[in-house]
Amino acid sequence: MSKWVKRALWVWGAWRLFGPIVDPRFPPPQTNPLRLKGQTVFVGDQELVVRDTGQPDGRLIVLLHGLGGSSLAEWYKVVPLLASRFRLILIDLPNHGRSDHFRSRFEIEDLADDVAGVLDALGIDEAAVAGYSMGGAVAQVFAHRYPGRVSKLMLVATLTHHPEPHRTLRTLASTVVRAWERLTGVGTAEVRAAYLRLVGAVAPVHARWSWLETHRRDPDTGALATQAMLRFDSRDWAGKLEQPVLMVIPSRDQLVPPGWQYQAAGEFRDVAIVEVVGARHEVPWTHPERLAAAIVAFLEG
């Protein structure tokens, strides 16, 4: 190893140990795109953040976010399009957003039970449930475990399982990513925030807000959630769900291939499919009007 490489490693190590942690700078003006006040509820000893908006007497929709995100970060463009018709409940799932974080293994089933606990705390018996990505897995389990509490199920860019060898490869990758993030202090959150800005999914004036929402995680909580999602498999019971199901499938999804999503749709007994042509996995950011229209048509049609 050359002396210059050694020196660079020493400098990098010293910076990691003693240097300041500096947030990135974003050009002004920077604004919050959806100022939606939250409340907290307890599910057991966990404190979870919930946002309640829209029409108090309207039909109720529970919105569940995806892996590594938050209820605001992923639904903020869709909420204003639905709030004039429906009452909306947005939940930050455990280990995400502003809800409690912990570092012990959990399953998607645990998150579904937490959703039930939130609805109990709010005095809600039944709702339509919309889940994006990992939230779609949580929504499926919630409908399976609490069938009388779900009127309709809306699944966006999600699946019923990870096929092999993808599951094994992604499990290994999550371990490597966690190690890299522990070592360097940067990783998934930075990539996600930068990608959303690069493709125009997040407007420049919302870049700082998006960066902050994306960074409400750490390497361990992120890895635990990823591995829970990789273990998820609903094939044994998906066909037994009695609720009508809407599948919104982005035609160019780079994280959950459309083929996986169509295969998932084939598992359900009563399913409607809406393909969003040209959309990628970030469909709630890039095609909020199309997504909101599909939800309205499904619920009111």
Q: How confident is the model at residue 169 (pLDDT cuts 50, 70, 90)?
A: very high
pLDDT (tens digit per residue) in 45-70: 999 999 999 999 999 999 999 999 99
Would you kindly state where each structural domain of the chain is located, as residue ranges?
A: 33-161+234-300
DSSP track, 49-118: EEEEEE-TTSEEEEEE--TT--HHHHHTTTHHHHTTTEEEEEE--TTSTTS----S---HHHHHHHHHHH
Q: How confident is the model at residue 9 (pLDDT cuts 50, 70, 90)?
A: confident
Rounded average pLDDT over 154-165: 98
Rounded average pLDDT over 108-132: 98
pTM: 0.95
Superfamily for the 33-161+234-300 domain: Alpha/Beta hydrolase fold, catalytic domain (3.40.50.1820)
Contacts (Cβ under 8 Å, ≥6 apart) of 168: none
* Confidence check: pLDDT of 17 > 90: no
* Confidence check: pLDDT of 273 > 90: yes
* Confidence check: pLDDT of 1 > 70: no
Rounded average pLDDT over 271-278: 98
* Confidence check: pLDDT of 218 > 90: no
pLDDT (tens digit per residue) in 251-268: 999 999 999 999 999 999
pLDDT value, residue 10: 81
Rg of the chain (C-alpha set): 20
Rounded average pLDDT over 179-199: 92
CA distance 273 to 77: 22
pLDDT value, residue 37: 93
Q: How confident is the model at residue 3 (pLDDT cuts 50, 70, 90)?
A: confident
* Confidence check: pLDDT of 15 > 80: no
